[in-house]
Chain A
């Protein structure tokens, strides 16, 4: 008799940066009030990855996020994707203004409150300025094994082992495909190139069935939602939110632009001088920093 796999998913509400939805201020900064927020694309991938464990292992899934009350939209969208069993929103003024370390502290506390968790799944990073660090920091704080850049995984539920494939891109060197395994509990973050593989007809059929069920559940998502305050989570308010953040955003400035747009110059190759000039220019650019 196999025991249930308990999965937690960390997601984030982010501005929808797709064309036609995003709004900018005259200075080129994001107009947040005009831009609608959605479940971030990397969070959506992480959620999809969790659904895989539901289809294959009948996992119990709890999705969590930290954010303002309206962040429950992200949880609802996640529920639609993964047919979650519970939704957890960590929402308290005390959490506001957190950097990664302080965010990780809150989420760690939240996941501890979930009871026994075998696997935590997070996204690669957020699109609106987060860093891809929350996942590993939560893992470290929980004392879970951490695997990043996961593109595929499977679980041996009898031996409580996760087997994962990771894509490690080392710029200027090469890419590595690494197969690893480690005992549960573990925290994994999902690479954008993650593609779930449902290899049999029955898995596909189950996928569809659970997905349909998820859409129904999403209509009454509040029924599955629990909102947690700092007090309920039992966190020390000095270690979360602004007070718990080592870093601050000191200033935001415009990136100086090297050039506005291209001015096309037409070169006549029959003229030696123009050819030479182009050649010099090319070599000069290539030799510059």
Chain B
């Protein structure tokens, strides 16, 4: 087979893996298991990792679903750099010898069958340059995948004749409106005038969509690849690199507990209560805009922890869509609603039954947080203890 295996580009920053890497491997595992069953084949999921001192990541990639890992370790590869990374990835996946070292590979192997990248600041651009070099198709921002055969008639691809394509990756990407799903296929030109084979069929995958697998009993081969590159591949020089801290990961949190002006009766003790509640549910804490202006006299440490713009949800803050959003003492100004309305499940606690937040809630509890939170906290603790 000229085109074999699914290659996943494992993303990390200086050894810190991105979540999307595990999510991609989880989906790759499921997809290839299904593929091998359906087509009675034995093709593999191969993770590619570039970096410096990244050996520990290789094992984690295996646990997350890879059959094998090919890695390149070099000081020049410590941080993602698109030009040199592209060059190495492309020569690696085209190197039959290397691929054959980790998994069983046909003699006529040329290129991968499928390839996955993360649809974020690293993978989005890298997927584009890699596929430009490999001269094949790419779908971006994919959130559903399946493999199937397809019979189509296409003006250019088949010159109007009906043709069957096998083992095609159906790449689904949501439309900008959010209403539509587009299925993108990467197909060879079977039109004799412009006959061409396109492989790999590649895509970038939206972070946070697929479920990772963590199975530490999984085993697989890990092989080092010796990259060759020259000065002209290293023209991009990193002058300075700074991880932006104090960033509150509201966007990534599955549950967000937000509070507003309703804490006013006794800010300090209410915040303590909210902290406890959030900790019990492993939630991130957010605030409504007015609080970022620090309207209360409270301790400096509370001020700098919570009353900061990075925690604001709303038009002048963050737009988030966690699984659960708990709005405590927030009346629900439009500016705030805009930031949280896409949450899956919304609970609000507010003494005012006319507060607009009520209509944006799945569950509304009328009452002051001082009264409601302790009860709710207690109840959840009990369930947790009972459940274990």
Contact = CB atoms under 8 A, between A and B. Distances in A.
Touch between chains A and B, by CB atoms below 8 Å = yes
Interface of A: 17, 24, 28-30, 99-101, 104, 127-129, 131-137, 139-141, 145-149, 163, 167-183, 189, 238, 242-243, 245-255, 258, 262-267, 269, 272, 275-276, 278-283, 285-286, 288-289
Interface of B: 11, 13, 16-20, 79-80, 82-83, 86, 120-122, 124-129, 131-133, 135-141, 150, 152, 154-157, 170, 174-187, 189, 191, 193-194, 198, 207-208, 211, 235-245, 247, 249, 251-252, 254-255, 281-282, 323-324, 344-347, 358-367, 371-372, 375-376, 379-380, 382-384, 387
A254 B181 contact: yes
Contacts of A248: 154, 157, 184-185, 187
Contacts of B137: 99, 101, 245-247
28 contacts: A101-B137, A129-B176, A131-B141, A133-B124, A133-B125, A133-B131, A136-B126, A170-B120, A172-B249, A172-B252, A173-B19, A175-B243, A176-B242, A179-B240, A182-B236, A246-B198, A247-B184, A249-B182, A253-B180, A262-B360, A265-B363, A269-B371, A275-B376, A281-B345, A281-B363, A282-B255, A282-B345, A288-B323
A131 B132 CA distance: 14
Going nearest first, the 8 A-B pairs with the smallest beta carbon separation are A246-B137, A172-B19, A133-B128, A131-B140, A247-B137, A246-B198, A136-B128, A28-B179
| Interface of chain B, main secondary structure | mixed
A113 B338 CA distance: 46
Interface centre among A133, A163, A169 (most CB of B within 10 A): A133
A1 B382 CA distance: 78
A136 B82 contact: yes
Given A133-B127, A247-B138, A252-B180, A282 B244 contact: no
Contacts of A135: 125, 128
Contacts of A282: 255, 281, 324, 345, 347, 380
Nearest to A242: B156
Contacts of A266: 363-366
Contacts of A272: 379
